[in-house]
Amino acid sequence: MDIKAYIESGVVESYVLGLASPEEVAELEALSVQHSEVRAAVDAFAESIQQQAMGTNIAPPPEIKQQLMERLAGDFKEGAIAAAPAAPKLSALPGGSANGKVVRMVSFKIWRNVAAAAVVLLVVSATLNVYYYKNYTQTTNKYQALLAERNTLQAANDDYHQTLNVIHDSTIQMVRMQGVPGKQNNMATVYWDAKTKAVYVYANNLQQIPEGKQYQLWALVDGKPVDAGVITDCRGVCKMKNIARAQAFAITLEKQGGSATPTLTAMYVLGKV
């Protein structure tokens, strides 16, 4: 028999994992006594399975251990042990123990049991890894969602308080900007602090912005338009550029990022100071 081909046929792996047929088990155990290569192959594969299981092992929850012990308790009751046939004495077996055959047989069976247990441990370990990773991912996603929601609420709260402070400041002048002809449904309000020259704008009602466009505030100073900044997607009042003096304010719809000069045909609201 070609022992190398026999070892590479996969029968060694089947034997260690408990998947071999009774005929294959008997043949392998007989050959392992006659050929040290077979015995070495069995030992090597069994040890690799054990090391792999131990390397990925994680501590299971206490309830898993309790359930496993309860399950095993039923397999090792005193009645079951008493009913088991007595093991034959070594001296009664053919060849006795002098030639080491029986010892090697027992060793192979122990290795096979250890390997089977290692496979079970490997499967349990992998299952627990997936379980804990899934829970970790779900918890992380929930935390990130809550954190984003908290930041959004905090920003809204800050904008709300800023709006209240601007509206109720007695030193700030309010300029109402009404919709121009053809756009009467639009309205916005400018809050101008004559002391600090700070300008805030509140978009009471401006139609939805088309893609690639942005509203821009202008101050009319000595008959010339002065850029007061583009209106971002802020909540409440938006802080704009400081304006030292102005006779009027207007809002036009410009390209994204704003324009150097206003597009008069795209004016939406206008209000005199």
Give residue 237's identity as a one-letter amino acid code.
V
Task: State pLDDT tens for residues 240-272.
Answer: 999 999 999 999 999 999 999 999 999 999 999
Q: Is the pLDDT of residue 93 over 90?
A: no
Q: Which residue has the higher pLDDT, 200 or 61?
A: 200
How far is CA 191 from its chain centroid?
A: 45
Helix (H, G, I), strand (E, B) or coil at 7: helix
In this prediction, residue 71 carries a pLDDT of 61
Q: Around Cβ 103, how many Cβ atoms within 10 Å?
A: 11
Q: What is the dihedral of CA 194, 200, 203, 204, to 10 degrees?
A: -50
Would you state the structure tokens that stand for residue 27, as one six-digit string? Answer: 């043949």
Instruction: Give the confidence band of 225 by pLDDT, cuts at 50, 70, 90.
Output: very high
The mean per-residue pLDDT over the stretch 206-223 comes to 92
In this prediction, residue 66 carries a pLDDT of 64
- Cα 31 to Cα 46, 48, 56, 109, 198: the distances in Å are 17, 21, 33, 14, 95
- Cα 187 to Cα 115, 159, 172, 179, 258: the distances in Å are 79, 20, 19, 5, 20
Residue 194 near residue 173 (C-beta atoms within 8 A): yes
In this prediction, residue 96 carries a pLDDT of 43
Q: Is the pLDDT of residue 57 over 90?
A: no
Q: Is the pLDDT of residue 224 over 90?
A: yes
In this prediction, residue 80 carries a pLDDT of 46
Q: Around Cβ 3, how many Cβ atoms within 10 Å?
A: 14
* 172-179 β-sheet, strand order: 224-230, 213-221, 248-255, 267-272, 172-179, 187-193, 199-205, 238-239
Instruction: Give the confidence band of 83 by pLDDT, cuts at 50, 70, 90.
Output: very low
Rounded Cα distance between 43 and 48, Å, is 9
In this prediction, residue 86 carries a pLDDT of 47
Q: Give the residue extent of every domain in the chain.
A: 3-139, 172-272
Helical (H) or strand (E) element with 108: helix 101-167
**What's phi and psi for 232, nearest 5 deg?**
-85, 175
pLDDT-above-70 percentage for the chain: 65
Q: Is the pLDDT of residue 177 over 90?
A: yes
- Which of 13-17, 116-120, 232-236 is predicted least confidently? 116-120
| Greatest mean pLDDT among 7-16, 199-208, 212-221 | 212-221
Would you state the structure tokens that stand for residue 56, as one six-digit string? Answer: 């990925």
**What's phi and psi for 169, nearest 5 deg?**
-80, 120
Question: Which residues face 175 on adjacent strands?
Answer: 190
